[in-house]
Amino acid sequence: MSQVVIRSLPVLSDNYAHFIHNPSTGATACIDPADDPAILKALNDWHWNLTEILITHPHWDHVDGIKTLVKAFGAEVYGSRPDLGKIPSCDFGVLGGDGVKVGPLCASVIHVPGHTSHHVAYYFAEAGALFCGDSLFSLGCGRLLGGTAAEMWSSLKRLSALPEDTKIYCAHEYTQANGRFALHVDPDNADLKIRMEEVNELRAQGLPTVPSTLASELKCNPFLRCRDEQEFTELRRLKDHF
DSSP 106-154: EEEEEE--SSSTT-EEEEETTTTEEEEETTEETTEE---SSS-HHHHHH
- Please identify which of the residues 32, 36, 61, 83 carries the catalytic annotation: 61
In tens, the pLDDT along 44-74 reads: 999 999 999 999 999 999 999 999 999 999 9
Active site residue 184: no
How would CATH label the architecture of 5-173? 4-Layer Sandwich (3.60)
Q: Tell me: pLDDT of 2 over 80.
A: no
Active site residue 134: yes
Active site residue 61: yes
Q: How many helices and strands, by DSSP H and E, does the chain display?
A: 8, 14
Active site residue 119: no
Active site residue 62: yes
- The reported pLDDT for the residue numbered 1 is 45
Q: How far apart are CA 124 and CA 106, in angstroms?
A: 6
- Please identify which of the residues 18, 21, 62, 118 carries the catalytic annotation: 62
Report the predicted TM-score, pTM, of the whole model to 2 decimal places: 0.97
**Region label for 36, one of left (φ > 0), alpha (ψ between -120 and 50) or beta (otherwise):** beta
Active site residue 111: no
